[in-house]
Structures are given as structure tokens and as C-alpha cells.
């Protein structure tokens, strides 16, 4: 039989994986090594050469997109329909299994699947019915607790609370929720796999049937499997099944959502006679990028071990830019993007990658100024995010308490006992009295039109806003923003969410303070008599209104490192490489391999680049309204110096005794523009703010802006043409 079409396009290691006779096989597939091709060709080899029935093969992926791609490519290679084959996600296959065997699983025939929002709503209602304070027992946290237990394969009766009252209460909520779902015939996503696993455990004859029917298992992205997924695979395979798992322990970056990189090693331990095949030839990146990534990941302990290489050339050195501050970093990156476009390259060939979502704001801002189309991949633009809109709504009320839209948004955010029924009364009163909601609320309180509890809650909200206005009216914009976030208790509100989401929201709020603190009122706004607060709110509204590019448009891609997994671009910028930011502070302080996961995340980011990789960090970064000195990421020290070209030599930031907040840089620095009237570190004077030190600049011509750290007024961004600065 002619099998050339299955093997001709493969390298030696890929051929070995496709044609292996081993019962169980671990394919360690490095980034860009063609793992999907290996899976597809293995599937085709089993059918066409080993004459395995398509119905006897189960192929599992992690996303519907990956499953669709596998079906499409398999069908093209086999030239026959693959519709009868079991190809899908863990959840999709589990769902199919439960629909076929609902009775054996103890489910109603017409059971319904709960999405995350429905699950949250049900938990909120059950917690309320239980008489619990949702402020103390938030539904989001309950949702995280329940799903995490299910991912570990634990029903309520299998969990010991060890006389811990906190655990005992969460367990009680789990029990109530599970009982409700059973009565109503509901199954959430985490339940799908747990029910499917319990089906094997409780129905030995059914398990025997499927072990006989499914003779070959193919599992993609194995490093991302959690406990219940691994147990399900192991149970189905038994001692007779043939299992091939494809993964990369160096790309395991989802530990925060339950993925266990240890499963890669457990596979070798738990399955008989495992043959390990390494795919190390990379078809994506240059030799320089791969050598840097190899050197970085080698610092992780207890790896399975592999070293990526390419048959192509070494390529260009990796660029490293040491920025004065975050504005300088954003300015440099966008200048490089413009140069790339000036060479006739496309915008969609460029990705700007960062550790936290809050970092996107400055790059969005600079791309807008440069009129370069962009898209925030897999997320919202900064000023469109819910937590940002919430904080800005409070700020809008400081400017104008009659802003009905702002009141509607935050009157019960965070929750303060003002529900839709109360809001309906306020809206009716406003409509009948032709008043804004603010005045209508005061009227309702005065005329006793609300129930006592609702009246007290509305009164407290009015006092909160009035108190903010009284205290903050004379504050700087940055202090107002910080004061609003603190007084509204938005941070405490979002801290009740699952950790990863919570941290992202809190970091975004901190960045909003930075944005307010660094805001420079445009000259035209000042001339029109607008206050700084009015100008900033207008700026935020306009930026939120700017439509970002669609997925198919030619635009620069902005994304987190986690979102970048599975993607590739000719030019990649990894920004914010500072200890505490990347690696993230919690990875440094927490045990459990967090730092190693951060290093794997950096490895993933570096291996997204095909032609050019640019790294950058800031020596100073404003965090929550204050400027902080930064230490370059330890990951940079793990990359061989000969692979890096430093655009601007690394510099140590020093602070003079006369002005503790003002940084001083080396004179004659190559990054200082020769046509600029001032030097970085120079002392200047302003009519309103007094003496200060020049720390940064951006733009050109009449749009040139300068950042000055004033001894008394703090850091300010000023338009040079209007600032009337004079040297001291």
C-alpha cells in the first residue's frame, strides 16, 4: 500500500510518532514542531494502514476550534467523511456520552446544561434563600469552590471540612446547589466530566463495552489536563487500550484554572510501557529566538527535557529596550511598529504581548495617536471594561449628580441592597415629577415612598456621593480617581471574584488611577473652559467610542501572554519585563511552582515570534498613582547576552536628595533627542507648579509632551508648546 502521502511531508521524529507500534506513546511536542500534523497523520495511519475502524478511535482536543480543524484536515487527508468519528473536546464527548446513557448516569432524559451565567444566578438565589449575606458568601466564590471540587472529582459527601467553619459553609452551599440541580435536571460544565467519570465507575459493563469499542485514544494539549480529565482517560484506556498523548510540559501555563503539568509524568508512571518521542525541530522561529527560549526554560527544574532547533538561519538578534518609564516604552514600541509598516509589512503581522490586561491602555493610546489600527485580542479595550466603566460612573457623579445613566450603573455596584424594585419606584417618581433620578431619590426619601430598608440604602448611596464630592472637589484628578475607587469599595467588591479575574480587575483600576494622574488637558479643552475632570471624562468616553478593528481587519494585535498561546506572528513585542510585573509578584511570593509557570509563560511568548522578537521594560513605572523604581525581570538575565542587541543600554535610576520622587539619568544618553530644548534630568520651572525635574517626553513638533516631576505638585504631563517651561 502506498503510504507516501502520509509520511513524505514529515521529519524523522514525526514519522516515528505517526508509525509507532507502541501501545502507549507520549509525544513531547515543542512549540512550532507540527504536533497537529502528527495527530492528523497518526489518525489517518491507524485507519488506512493498520485498518482500525474510525469508530474505534477517540480524539480529544481542548477547544471546539481545534476539534473542527482536526476534522477538516483529517477529512482532507483521508478523502472520506469523518463525521462518525469521535473527535471533540472533553466536554463535548462527555455530553455525547451522557445523552446516550442518561439513565445509567442517573440523569433525566431531557437534562439541560447550565452555562456559567446561569450557574451564577442560581447560586445567588440559593445563597439568599439560605439567609446568608452575599457580601460574606459571594456567589462567584461559591461558583469557583464548586467547580474546583468537581474538577478534582469530588462530590460534597467526599469532602472533609476538618471542623473548619469556612469550608463547612462552602460545602453546605455545594450540597444545596447540587440538590437543586438534581431536582431540576440541570448539569453544569464541570458536572459533564464528573458524571461521565462516574458512569465508568458505577457501570462496569458499560465501561467494558467502551473499552472494547474504543481501542485507540489520541489526546491533544495533554499538559493542560486537570485531575478529572486525566482520571477519565485512564479509566477508559484501562490495560488494553492504546493511548497517544501529545503535549509540552514547557507550555503548561494554566495551573490557575486547574491544569496539572504533573499529568505528563503521571502518564509515564501510570500507563504500561510508554514510549517517549520528542518533536524538537521547529518550523516557526529563527535560531536566535529558539536558542534564547531554550536557555530560558532550562532554568526550570524537573522538566521532561527537549531542545528546540531549526534548519533555517539564525535570524536577527533579539532587541531589548530599557525604557525610562512606561510612556517611553509605549512610544518606542509604536515607533517600531510604524517602521515595520513603512517597510511595506502588514499590521496584522505584529503582536504586542503583556502579562496583565491593564498594560494595554498606554499601547491603545499611542496606537490611536499614530492612527494605526489595532485589536485587543480576546478582550475589551481598556475604557470599555466593566470595572473601568463602574469607576468612571462614580467620577461622573462627582461632576454631575444628575447623570441618570451613571446612577443606574453604580447605585447597586457594589451591592448595597438597592434592587430593581426600588429602582422602578425611583424611575416612576422621576418620570412623574420630571426630575432626574438624583432629585427623585431625595424626594422618595423625604416623602417616605420607599420601604424602610430600601430608603436607608438609597439614603446611604446619596450620602456616599455627596461625601465624595465634598472631600474631593479640591483634589488633583489622580487623587480624585483613587479616592473614588477607595470610597466606593470597588476593589473589595471585585476581590470576591475568582483570583485570576479579580487580579485583572484590580490591576485595571490601578491603571485607571495612573491614566488620571498622567492626563494632560488638551489646549482646546482648556480654552473652552472645561475643568480637568470634564476633559478627562470626555477623553475616556471618546476612547471607549473608538471602534477597534474586527478579527479580519489588518490591524496590530494586543493580547495577554495567556491569549497568545497557539498563535504566531512575524514580529512580537513582549513588554513590561520587570520583576513584580513579569514574573508576577504572586509567583515570587507563593509556593507551588508559580515562578516556573511564569517562566513557561515567558517561553510561550518568545516562541510566538517568527522573525523578530523585541523585549522591553521600564526603569520607572507608575502604579496606583505613585512612581516606582523597577528591577529588570530576572528572565532577561537568563537569556544569553550574545543573543541580545540592546537598543539603549540598561541604566540605573538614581534619586537626588532634594527631590525624592525625581529620577536622574545619565547625561548624553543616546535616547535623548538632539532637537529637544531640555535634557532628561534637567531642572525646570513652571509658573503654577514651581520647580521640577524632566523625566520623560513623547511626540514631536507641536504635539510634543514632557513629563516633569515637580517638587510640590508631583508628576505632570505638559504640552511643551503651552507649558512655558524655563530652565533653572
Catalytic residue (choose from 220, 249, 387, 578): 220
Burial of 78 (0-12, 13-18, 19+ CB in 10 A): middle
Is 223 marked active-site?
no
Catalytic residue (choose from 20, 36, 203, 319): 36
Taking the C-alpha atoms of residue 143 and residue 170, their distance in angstroms, rounded to an integer, is: 10
Residues 6+ apart with CB under 8 A from 98: 105, 107, 111, 187, 192, 195, 196, 199
Q: Is 241 helix (H, G, I), strand (E, B) or coil?
A: coil
Cβ–Cβ under 8 Å, residues 232 and 199: no
C-alpha cell at 289: 529566538
Is 500 marked active-site?
no
Cβ–Cβ under 8 Å, residues 409 and 386: no
Is 221 marked active-site?
yes
Of 72, 23, 12, 82, the closest CA to residue 48 belongs to 82
Taking the C-alpha atoms of residue 58 and residue 88, their distance in angstroms, rounded to an integer, is: 8
Q: Is 624 left (phi over 0), alpha (psi -120 to 50) or beta?
A: left
Of 355, 342, 343, 334, the closest CA to residue 556 belongs to 334
301 phi/psi in degrees, rounded to 5? -90, 160
Is 251 marked active-site?
yes
Catalytic residue (choose from 251, 260, 286, 704): 251
C-alpha cell at 373: 489600527
Catalytic residue (choose from 35, 37, 42, 306): 35
Would you tell me the crossing angle of helices 386-399 and 499-518 to the nearest 10 degrees?
40
Cβ–Cβ under 8 Å, residues 147 and 188: yes
Taking the C-alpha atoms of residue 215 and residue 694, their distance in angstroms, rounded to an integer, is: 70
C-alpha cell at 182: 438534581
Taking the C-alpha atoms of residue 682 and residue 686, their distance in angstroms, rounded to an integer, is: 13
What residues form DSSP beta bridges with 58? 86, 217
Q: Is 247 helix (H, G, I), strand (E, B) or coil?
A: strand
Pairing relationship of beta strands 374-376 and 714-719 according to DSSP bridges: unpaired
Is 608 marked active-site?
yes
Is 359 marked active-site?
no
Structural Rg of the chain based on CA atoms: 29
Taking the C-alpha atoms of residue 410 and residue 393, their distance in angstroms, rounded to an integer, is: 7
Taking the C-alpha atoms of residue 668 and residue 691, their distance in angstroms, rounded to an integer, is: 22
DSSP 510-549: HHHHHHHHH----HHHHHTT--HHHHHHHHHHHHHHSPPP
Catalytic residue (choose from 278, 608, 610, 716): 608
Taking the C-alpha atoms of residue 367 and residue 361, their distance in angstroms, rounded to an integer, is: 10
Of 468, 476, 457, 461, the closest CA to residue 396 belongs to 468
The residues assigned a catalytic role are: 35-36, 220-221, 251, 608
Amino acid at each position: 500500500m502506498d503510504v507516501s502521502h502520509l509520511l513524505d511531508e514529515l521529519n524523522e521524529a514525526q514519522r516515528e510518532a505517526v508509525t509507532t507500534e507502541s501501545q502507549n506513546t507520549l509525544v513531547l511536542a515543542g512549540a512550532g514542531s507540527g504536533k497537529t500534523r502528527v495527530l492528523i497523520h497518526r489518525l489517518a495511519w491507524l485507519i488506512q494502514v493498520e485498518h482500525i475502524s474510525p469508530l474505534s478511535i477517540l480524539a480529544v482536543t481542548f477547544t471546539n476550534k481545534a476539534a473542527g480543524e482536526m476534522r477538516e484536515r483529517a477529512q482532507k487527508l483521508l478523502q472520506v467523511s469523518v463525521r462518525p468519528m469521535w473527535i471533540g473536546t472533553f466536554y463535548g464527548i462527555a455530553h455525547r456520552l451522557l445523552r446516550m446513557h442518561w439513565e445509567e448516569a442517573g440523569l433525566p432524559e431531557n437534562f439541560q446544561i447550565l452555562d456559567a451565567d446561569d450557574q451564577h444566578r442560581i447560586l445567588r438565589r440559593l445563597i439568599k434563600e439560605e439567609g446568608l449575606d452575599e457580601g460574606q458568601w459571594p456567589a462567584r466564590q461559591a461558583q469557583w469552590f464548586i467547580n474546583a471540587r468537581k474538577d478534582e472529582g469530588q462530590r460534597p459527601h467526599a469532602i472533609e471540612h476538618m471542623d473548619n467553619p469556612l469550608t463547612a459553609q462552602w460545602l453546605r452551599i455545594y450540597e444545596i446547589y447540587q440538590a437543586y440541580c438534581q431536582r431540576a435536571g440541570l448539569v453544569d460544565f464541570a458536572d459533564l466530566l464528573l458524571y461521565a467519570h462516574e458512569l465508568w465507575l458505577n457501570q462496569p459493563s458499560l465501561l467494558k463495552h467502551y473499552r472494547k469499542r474504543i481501542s485507540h485514544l489520541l489526546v491533544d494539549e495533554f499538559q493542560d489536563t486537570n485531575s478529572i480529565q486525566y482520571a477519565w482517560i485512564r479509566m477508559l484506556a484501562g490495560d488494553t487500550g492504546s493511548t497517544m498523548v501529545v503535549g509540552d510540559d514547557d507550555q503548561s501555563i494554566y495551573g490557575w484554572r486547574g491544569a496539572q503539568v504533573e499529568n505528563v509524568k503521571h502518564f509515564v508512571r501510570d500507563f504500561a510501557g510508554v514510549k517517549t518521542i520528542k518533536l524538537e525541530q521547529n518550523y516557526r522561529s529563527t535560531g536566535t529566538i529558539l536558542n534564547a527560549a531554550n536557555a530560558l526554560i532550562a532554568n526550570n527544574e524537573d522538566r521532561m527535557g527537549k531542545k528546540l532547533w531549526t534548519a533555517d538561519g539564525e535570524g536577527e538578534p533579539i532587541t531589548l529596550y530599557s525604557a525610562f518609564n512606561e510612556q517611553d516604552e509605549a512610544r518606542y514600541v509604536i515607533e517600531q511598529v510604524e517602521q515595520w509598516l513603512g517597510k511595506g509589512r502588514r499590521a496584522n503581522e505584529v503582536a504586542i504581548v503583556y502579562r496583565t490586561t491593564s498594560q494595554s491602555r498606554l499601547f491603545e493610546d499611542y496606537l490611536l495617536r499614530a492612527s494605526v489600527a489595532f485589536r485587543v485580542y480576546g478582550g475589551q479595550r481598556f475604557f470599555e471594561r466593566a470595572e473601568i466603566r463602574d469607576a468612571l460612573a462614580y467620577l461622573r457623579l462627582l461632576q454631575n449628580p444628575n447623570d441618570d445613566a451613571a446612577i443606574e450603573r453604580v447605585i447597586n455596584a457594589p451591592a448595597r441592597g438597592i434592587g430593581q424594585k426600588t429602582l422602578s419606584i425611583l424611575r416612576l417618581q422621576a418620570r412623574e415629577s420630571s426630575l432626574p433620578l438624583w432629585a427623585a431619590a431625595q424626594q422618595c426619601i423625604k416623602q417616605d415612598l420607599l420601604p424602610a430598608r430600601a430608603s436607608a440604602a438609597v439614603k446611604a448611596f446619596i450620602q456616599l456621593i455627596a461625601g465624595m464630592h465634598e472631600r474631593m472637589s479640591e483634589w488633583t484628578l489622580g487623587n480624585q480617581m483613587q479616592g473614588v475607587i477607595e470610597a466606593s469599595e470597588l476593589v473589595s467588591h471585585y476581590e470576591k471574584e475568582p483570583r485570576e479575574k479579580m487580579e485583572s480587575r484590580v490591576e485595571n483600576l490601578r491603571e485607571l488611577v495612573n491614566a488620571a494622574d498622567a492626563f494632560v488637558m488638551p489646549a482646546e479643552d482648556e480654552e473652552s473652559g472645561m475643568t480637568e475632570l470634564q476633559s478627562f471624562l470626555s477623553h475616556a468616553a471618546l476612547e471607549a467610542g473608538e471602534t477597534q478593528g474586527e478579527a479580519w481587519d489588518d490591524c496590530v494585535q494586543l493580547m495577554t501572554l495567556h491569549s497568545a498561546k497557539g498563535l504566531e506572528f512575524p514580529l512580537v513585542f513582549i513588554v513590561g519585563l520587570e520583576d513584580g510585573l513579569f514574573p508576577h509578584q504572586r509567583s515570587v511570593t507563593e509556593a507551588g511552582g508559580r515562578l516556573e509557570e511564569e517562566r513557561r509563560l515567558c517561553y510561550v511568548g518568545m516562541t510566538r515570534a517568527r522573525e523578530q522578537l523585541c523585549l522591553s521594560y521600564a526603569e520607572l513605572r507608575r502604579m496606583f498613582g505613585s512612581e516606582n523604581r523597577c528591577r529588570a525581570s530576572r528572565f532577561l538575565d537568563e537569556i544569553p547576552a550574545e543573543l541580545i542587541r540592546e537598543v539603549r543600554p540598561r541604566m540605573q535610576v538614581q534619586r537626588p536628595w532634594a527631590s525624592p520622587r525625581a529620577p536622574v539619568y545619565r547625561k548624553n544618553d543616546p535616547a535623548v533627542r538632539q532637537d529637544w530644548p531640555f535634557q532628561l534630568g534637567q531642572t525646570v520651572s513652571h509658573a503654577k507648579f514651581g520647580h521640577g525635574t524632566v523625566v520623560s517626553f513623547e511626540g514631536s513638533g507641536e504635539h510634543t509632551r514632557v513629563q516633569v516631576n515637580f517638587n510640590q505638585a508631583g508628576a505632570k504631563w505638559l504640552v511643551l508648546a503651552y507649558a512655558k517651561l524655563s530652565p533653572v
